[in-house]
Chains A and B, each alone.
Chain A
Amino acid sequence: MSVALRILDDGAWVSVDDTRRVAVSELWRVPGVEFCRCDLADIVVEGFLEVGVDGRTVEARLYGQCIVCGESGTTGWLPVGRIVDGEFYDLDREGGAAPTGPTPENG
């Protein structure tokens, strides 16, 4: 089953099957972000750059700022949700979104 993934509203939303699902402006705790030295970065998500899927995991690359150290930059692929039986399920990103591997493709 194919899933339509796209970035909408100038990078403000990840749309999954024509429904806005993941928004900018949330705080995400992410370990090991490339652009800052914090063990656990606390990132204000300011814009999505790309969305893709790896297996059943929906992933996004984004631009943001770590509120712990103040550094800004672009992340690698981070999981934002999972597709189960064609339905999108959100992930708890406030609690920690571990980076995932490369090779996502638009679904």
Chain B
Amino acid sequence: MPTDVEEWKSEVYGNEIREHLERFAEEGWEAIPEDEHDAWFERFKWWGLYHQRNGQESYFMMRIGTPNGVLKPGQAKVVADITQEFAHGPEENPIFGNGYVDWTTRQSIQLHWIKVEDVPEIFDRLDEVGLSTQQACGDSWRNIVGCPVAGKDKHEHVDALPVAEGLHETYKGHEDHTNLPRKWKVAVTGCREGCGQGDINDLAYEPASKEVDGEEVRGFNVRVGGGLARNEPRLSRDLDVFVTPEQAVEVGGGLSALFRDYGDREDRYNARMKFLVDEMGAEEIRETLQEEYVDFELETAGENLREDYSYNSGRETGGHSDHVGVHEQNDGNYYVGLNVLVGRMSDDDTAELARVADEYGSGEVRVTQRQNVIITDVPEEDLGDLREEPLLEDYSPDPHPFMRGSVACTGTEFCSLSIVETKNRQVRYARWLKEHVDLPDGIDDFHVHLSGCTASCAQPQIADVSLRGMKTRKDGEAVEALDIGLGGGLGAEPRFADWVTQRVPVDEVPGAIKNLLANFEERREGDETFRDFVERTDEDTLADLVEPEETSYEDPMMHNTKMTWYPYAEDDDMAASPAPTDRDGQSLPSDD
């Protein structure tokens, strides 16, 4: 039997949702029929709008897709303006204030506290500069990710940016690919470091070479069925297909159509490509693709570059594991990667970022999968002045490893799925660790990813220390807790973290990391990395080395933040919520 979601999608889905959004915007929040909320909120996702969680009714998260993380000149300023004007909520966040941009792990942008009444105006402003929220969420082609410095990287194998843009232009709004069984996440990588993270995507293009008709051709190997969600992480599997950049769009469409036709529409848990690959196997997927979905003979896989992958790998390979810092481009200019702690930047700082990018670079800003931003095209002679800009004091190109390594999802502040508070907590953790913990010699990269639930938006399974939201009891009281995993990473031999310790009360996690690092330093052999150490140590021993402990770290959000209307409100009780509100932010009468 089709699910409710499939029923709703069969009635209204895709581009036409925009017309309904515009109607609701004109008539106001109350025009959305109460007994159709579930259906409309599901549909709105296709146009990049997520209804925020309980207690925040009538407010939306808006996601803007930026293919390959590229914001073209002028676009960052418009994002800042929209945030300043439309993304302020009824309460301030104690760390980030009111009005902020979240740079996400899929190289997109998320804004919060958006009112449906403002959506048409926001869409118009985005349209004017070539940005869109279309398919940023929902069951279709999501924002395409890739190496954020594609086309500018000195050492890249092939420029993947035209391929990412080609896929984006072809399949955004394409009627045949509008309504898939579930989300469809695509990564296109052309660099030698593996920055596209294809291993955790539904469809991955990975740099490769192949001799075709006696000539060496550069292009991509194709992999399918990776993903992290639902306690069922999978690495993408080799499809044994090589494509040229020119063939990539057709093959991607073929695989998307195969997923559309063969994917499970009766059980949304089972609807992702990774489960279809489990079921059919890569070989049968390839045969089906060849027989039913492409018109030319597929080449077998070429020679890949996976041995050299360094991004998010936890290895010392000599390659980079993120894009923070100053790096020379292929044209002699430089790109400057700025660390954005947990990916959140105030509206004013985003405006400043746009100004700085315009003044020193080409005006372009790029977003990375580690929630950071990059200013591109800076002439060497301007680097000194750029470094003196006040913005770089807060968003450093040379941050402390605990700041640099922090990634966090949205959490219970806004998200319906999360179990615990995340972004503010990871900021508190990073600051405490920076002050109280010394990393062993030579450890410049140490990644701590905090995800509020098993959806894994912070990609916890590929960090040195993986933190995942849980609950436990402490002194008889229910408190927020975290499972702790160790030693995950991508690279030549990708590996998901081992969850060695479960349900650690959140106030004991910084102590656990401190003790873990001390134990690592004591047992470390030579200059091995943390991941190397974890891999040669058995799980029971690792669990013993974690040692959760209360320290001087105090956590103000131990309680059930999900059951507050907004965890940082002075009166956080659900009954104190001003939501739902009208177009001016005034409370509307509630039925309850």
Cβ A10 vs Cβ B478 within 8 A: no
Q: Which chain B residue shows the least CB distance to A72?
A: B231
Cβ-based interface call for B416 (8 A): yes
A59 within 8 Å of B (CB atoms): no
Query: A23 to chain B: which residues have CB within 8 Å?
Result: 54, 416, 562-563
Measured between beta carbons, the chain B residues less than 8 angstroms from A10 are 229-230, 268-269, 417, 455
**Alpha-carbon gap, A12 to B469, bound state (A):** 13
- Shortest C-beta distance, A40 to chain B (Å), equals 13
**Residues of the A chain whose Cβ atoms lie less than 8 Å from the Cβ of B502:** 65, 70
Q: Does A18 contact B (CB under 8 A)?
A: yes
Task: Please indicate the chain A residues that have their CB under 8 angstroms from the CB of B471 in the complex.
Answer: 25-27, 44, 67
Q: Contacts A10-B455, A12-B453, A67-B472 hold; do A25 and B35 have CB atoms under 8 A apart?
A: no
Are B54 and A26 within 8 A (Cβ)?
Answer: no
The answer to whether A27 touches B269, judged by C-beta atoms less than 8 angstroms apart, is no
Which range holds the interface residue count of chain A?
Answer: 20 to 34
**Chain A residues, CB < 8 A from B478:** 26-27, 94
Q: Given contacts A6-B4, A9-B417, A10-B269, is CB(A42)–CB(B455) below 8 Å?
A: no
Q: How far is the CB of A84 from chain B (nearest CB, A)?
A: 14
State whether B469 touches A20 (Cβ < 8 A): no
* Residues B560 and A26 in contact, CB atoms below 8 Å apart: yes
A29 smallest CB distance to B (angstroms): 10
| Structural contact, B417 and A46, CB atoms closer than 8 A | no
Known contacts A20-B54, A25-B471, A26-B471: A15-B38 contact under CB 8 Å: yes
Q: Which residues of A contact B269 (CB under 8 A)?
A: 10-11
Does A100 have its Cβ within 8 Å of any Cβ on chain B? no
A59-97 interface (Cβ within 8 A of B): 65, 67, 70, 94
| A35 close to B (CB within 8 Å) | no
- Is B200 interfacial (CB 8 A cutoff)? no
What's the tally of chain B residues with a CB closer than 8 Å to chain A? 31
A13 to B453, CA, bound (A): 13
Interface hub of B417, B418, B455, B472 (most chain A Cβ within 10 A): B417
Q: Which residues of A contact B35 (CB under 8 A)?
A: 4, 17-18
B34 interfacial by beta-carbon distance below 8 Å:
yes
Q: Is B503 interfacial (CB-CB < 8 Å)?
A: yes
Q: Would you call B419 an interface residue if the criterion is a C-beta within 8 Å of the partner chain's C-beta atoms?
A: yes
In whole angstroms, how far apart are the Cα atoms of A9 and B419 in the complex? Answer: 13
The answer, yes or no, to whether B216 is at the interface (CB within 8 Å) is no
Within 346-363 of B, Cβ neighbours of A (below 8 Å) are at: none
Residues of B within 8 A of A47 (CB): 454
Q: Is B387 an interface residue (CB 8 A)?
A: no
- A20 adjacent to B416 (CB under 8 Å): yes
Q: What 15 new A-B contacts, CB under 8 Å, besides A13-B416, A24-B419? A: A9-B416, A10-B269, A12-B416, A18-B35, A18-B36, A19-B37, A20-B416, A23-B563, A24-B453, A25-B420, A26-B478, A42-B473, A44-B472, A47-B454, A65-B502
Interface residues of chain B, those whose CB is within 8 Å of chain A, are 4, 34-38, 53-54, 229-230, 268-269, 416-420, 453-455, 469-473, 478, 502-503, 560, 562-563
Q: Which 8 A-B pairs have the closest CB atoms?
A: A25-B419, A18-B37, A12-B417, A9-B416, A44-B471, A27-B478, A18-B38, A6-B4
